[in-house]
Amino acid sequence: MPISLIGVTYKIIAKLLANRLEKVLDKAIGEQQMAFIEGRQLVDGVVIANEVIDEAKRKKKRSFLFKVDFEKAYDKVCWDFLDYMLMRMGFCNTWRMWIHECLQSSTVSILVNGSPSRQFSVSKGLCQGDPLSPFLFLIVAEGLNGLMSSAVEKELYKGVTVGNDAVMVTHLQFADDTIFFGEATENNIMPLLESFKKKLTSWKGQQLSLGGRITLINSVLSSLPVLSSLPMFLMSVYLLPKGTLKAIDKIHKSFLWGGEGERKRINWVNWKKVCMPKECGGLGVRDLGYVNLSLMGKWWGRLAVKEDGLWRKVIASKYGEGGGHWMDWVRNGVGACSSWWRDVRRIDNVEGEITGWLIEGFRLKLGEGNDVSFWWDEWSGGICLANRFLRLYLLSEGKEKECCQMGSMCNGTWKWNLTWRRKLFEREEEAATELSTVIEGVKIAPGRPDEWEWIHSKDFRYSTKTVYSLLTKVPRCPTQERVFRRIWNPNLPTKIFAFNWQLLLNRLPTKSNLLKKGFGVIMGDGNCNLCQEEEEDATHLFLKCKNVRWIWKECDRWWGINIETQEDCWKTFEHPGVWTRNTRIRKGCDCTWSAIVWSISLMRNQRIFQNQEMDPDWISNPIACLTENCGGGLILVTGIVSIL
């Protein structure tokens, strides 16, 4: 059915049912389905597919991969089959009745020559826009998972096995998008080929051109879904090459500074500066290299929380040898591996980037202590006890013991009990005392599992936002931060506060700056076009020129500031924020400043490009318009701006 308008009453009922249904779907829907279920993500399927393909290539397995998309999937859902699946999953009659009533409440009206026809009931399909529809579709799609499991059990179909544990992968699903994996045997291939042949045959009578047929074959046989957010998916699975990132940045830079095609434009501000946070003097443009690292680092975060999905079983089967925890796989893994796993292992040490940020961000929180090595895991203040107390480690009787084996509960309190192979000497006793001090505050907590924490988040869970902030962290200057925060006035048009940003950085295309860039022939003598007396730099154009000084003299009354004594635009803009803490007055001053410098810029450009004569209205009119709109409490009085 098409996207539907839903009544408020029905939507409340459907939302209540959907919220309850969502809580049990994780147990009812097979782990091959990645859509609409909390804790499962599309990128899980990308990783599993990547590892299956890598395994097949390395071990030279004769395998195939086959992608299927259900045509008009929502429209063709059979209600009887949905009810059958609900029954098979153990839903009670009451629940089945509720779902049936929700489905039957739908009516459809068709537009005929622009007029709606009489409403009529439908007997199949799911409404797009209904909160229940995604979950009901998963229940229907689970029928395919059941058929595949049955085919494997009856040896009618064989998937691809991965890793030492021989985890079998037969198919992956994301809603109605399905990928099949299998061994390239005749029993596996023939049914799929027959089905595909029927699909192509159905297009014969539609008079497709040769190009159309080639496109159809390529799209059905070769292509995977091309999603609008494909770059983000790619950056979630692979580290993009430096050349690719530079090429993307080049496009962004060209667009930012007004370039078209191959036409080059001046990059007035360094790209690293542009990518800084706004309060640090940048534009807050996201650095794709750091975005890539933060998205890839999410795999470490998901390994840390022990997600029990199929993707983890595949990875553990291939790379989890040795019985250690997940960080051992990542840090100490050796031998051949897939390109994805290679990228995951090296994201903490990418050439030219910050190193150690990922490993240092994770902290082991002791729980029961069953999975934590006393001597080798960094569970006590982020240090490895074996390295810090090497002599004591060599003398210990529990070199390979876990934390839970290095003490006992006494009257409800955990007591550490360290034993040695011989009596300790005096210096060793001092080291043992220091060791006891280090571990004294850390206790075993029975019933609570050992956990890895991400120390940079308040909830101790890995998040790409905190990682990106960590990677882009720059030394802070409180004075500069206050000034840059004032630039981004939400009441002003974006073009004006971007102009302010360039002005305060002295990166506007004034004649002085253009001469520095090698445009001397074009710019001539470089003198100010408004007065023709001095070189046109930002300080002269916006503060010192005799044709704009009159407007700043009015600011003496508003701000209590003498423009003649100010060194540059930065000092002038900073001044109102220094002497007043009244937010309304400060915003009014900021608005006045922005309106004045923007209007001066307009006057200068009209003089240069339109050869217009000087007119005080060029400044006063735009200032009045801007300041009234920005809510700074400003109005126009006798041709100049005056603050109320």
Q: What kind and span of H or E run contains 68?
A: strand 63-69
Does pLDDT of 481 surpass 60? yes
Q: How confident is the model at residue 321 (pLDDT cuts 50, 70, 90)?
A: low
Residue 566 is predicted with a pLDDT of: 66
Same domain, 155 and 268: no
130 within some domain: yes
Q: Which of 288, 315, 286 is nearest to 299 (CA)?
A: 315
Angle among Cα 25, 29, 33 to the nearest 5 degrees reads 115
Q: Which of 373, 425, 378 is nearest to 399 (CA)?
A: 373
**Is pLDDT larger for residue 197 or for residue 293?**
293
Both tokens assigned to 114? 């622009």
The pLDDT tens digits of the residues spanning 548-570 come to: 887 777 766 666 656 555 678 88
**C-alpha distances in angstroms, 615 versus 162, 390, 554, 569?**
78, 82, 18, 23
Which own/partner pairs from 164-167 qualify as long-range (CB within 8 Å, at least 24 positions apart)? 164/317, 164/318, 164/321, 165/313, 165/316, 165/317, 166/317, 167/310, 167/313, 167/314, 167/317
Backbone Cα Rg of the chain: 34
b (16+ CB within 10 A) / e for 269-291:
bebeebbbbbbbbbeebebbbbb
Determine the average pLDDT of the residues in 56-60: 85
Residue 86 is predicted with a pLDDT of: 93
Residue 607 is predicted with a pLDDT of: 83
Distance CA 256, CA 545 (A): 30
Determine the average pLDDT of the residues in 412-428: 87
Angle among Cα 44, 182, 58 to the nearest 5 degrees reads 75
Specify the 3-state DSSP secondary structure of 56.
Answer: helix
φ, ψ dihedrals at 483, nearest 5°: -65, -45
Residues in contact with 429: Cβ distance below 8 Å, sequence separation at least 6, in sequence order: none
Q: Are 358 and 464 in contact (CB under 8 A)?
A: no
Please provide the DSSP assignment of 429-441 as one string: HHHHHHHHHHHHT
Q: Are 305 and 18 in contact (CB under 8 A)?
A: no
Q: How confident is the model at residue 200 (pLDDT cuts 50, 70, 90)?
A: very low
Q: Are 507 and 333 in contact (CB under 8 A)?
A: no
Specify the 3-state DSSP secondary structure of 108.
Answer: strand
**C-alpha distances in angstroms, 255 versus 212, 230, 250, 265, 478?**
34, 21, 9, 9, 31
Same domain, 79 and 25: yes
Same domain, 74 and 153: yes
Distance CA 202, CA 303 (A): 46
Please give the biggest Cα pair distance in the chain. 99
Does pLDDT of 571 surpass 90? no
Q: Are 239 and 343 in contact (CB under 8 A)?
A: yes
379 within some domain: no
pTM above 0.75, yes or no: no
**Which domain-ending residue is among 359, 394, 429?**
359
Does pLDDT of 288 surpass 50? yes
Distance CA 379, CA 374 (A): 8
DSSP 557: H
Does pLDDT of 637 surpass 50? no
**C-alpha distances in angstroms, 541 versus 324, 515, 533, 545, 601?**
67, 15, 11, 6, 9
**Greatest mean pLDDT range, 333-337, 420-424, 546-550:** 420-424
Determine the average pLDDT of the residues in 623-632: 57
**Greatest mean pLDDT range, 13-22, 400-409, 444-453, 521-530:** 13-22
283, HSE (Cβ side, Cα atoms, 13 Å):
23
Which own/partner pairs from 433-442 qualify as long-range (CB within 8 Å, at least 24 positions apart)? 434/389, 435/385, 435/389, 435/392, 438/380, 438/381, 438/383, 438/385, 438/388, 439/380, 439/385, 440/416, 442/366, 442/379, 442/380
193 within some domain: no
Same domain, 486 and 612: yes
Distance CA 164, CA 192 (A): 28
189 within some domain: no
- Structural domain including 166 reads 8-184
The pLDDT tens digits of the residues spanning 228-266 come to: 344 566 778 888 788 777 877 776 777 777 655 445 678
302 within some domain: yes
370 within some domain: no
Does pLDDT of 602 surpass 60? yes
Does pLDDT of 189 surpass 70? no
Angle among Cα 132, 236, 329 to the nearest 5 degrees reads 110
152 within some domain: yes
Beta-strand relationship, 177-183 and 362-365: unpaired
Same domain, 128 and 238: no
b (16+ CB within 10 A) / e for 599-617:
bbbebbeebeeeeeeeeee
Mean pLDDT of the chain, nearest integer:
77
Q: What kind and span of H or E run contains 111?
A: strand 111-112
The pLDDT tens digits of the residues spanning 8-29 come to: 888 899 999 999 998 998 889 9
364 within some domain: no
Q: Tokens 């957010």 correspond to what residue?
A: 229
Same domain, 96 and 49: yes
Residue 493 is predicted with a pLDDT of: 75
How many domains, the chain? 4
Does pLDDT of 114 surpass 50? yes
Same domain, 57 and 122: yes
Same domain, 41 and 109: yes
Does pLDDT of 74 surpass 70? yes
Residue 137 is predicted with a pLDDT of: 92
Does pLDDT of 276 surpass 60? yes
Determine the average pLDDT of the residues in 465-481: 82
What single-letter amino acid sits at 409? Answer: M
Residue 182 is predicted with a pLDDT of: 86
Residue 558 is predicted with a pLDDT of: 62
Both tokens assigned to 627? 């300041």
DSSP 544: I
pLDDT-above-70 percentage for the chain: 79
**Which domain-ending residue is among 184, 204, 239?**
184
Name which of 182-186, 201-205, 524-528 the model is least confident about: 201-205
Helix residue spans in 441-510 (DSSP H): 464-471, 478-487, 494-504
Same domain, 546 and 416: no
Specify the 3-state DSSP secondary structure of 428.
Answer: helix
What single-letter amino acid sits at 536? Answer: E
Q: How confident is the model at residue 581 (pLDDT cuts 50, 70, 90)?
A: low
Q: Are 534 and 621 in contact (CB under 8 A)?
A: no
Does pLDDT of 63 surpass 70? yes
Same domain, 529 and 434: no
In 441-580, beta strands by DSSP E: 451-454
Q: How confident is the model at residue 94 (pLDDT cuts 50, 70, 90)?
A: very high
Same domain, 286 and 421: no
Same domain, 177 and 246: no
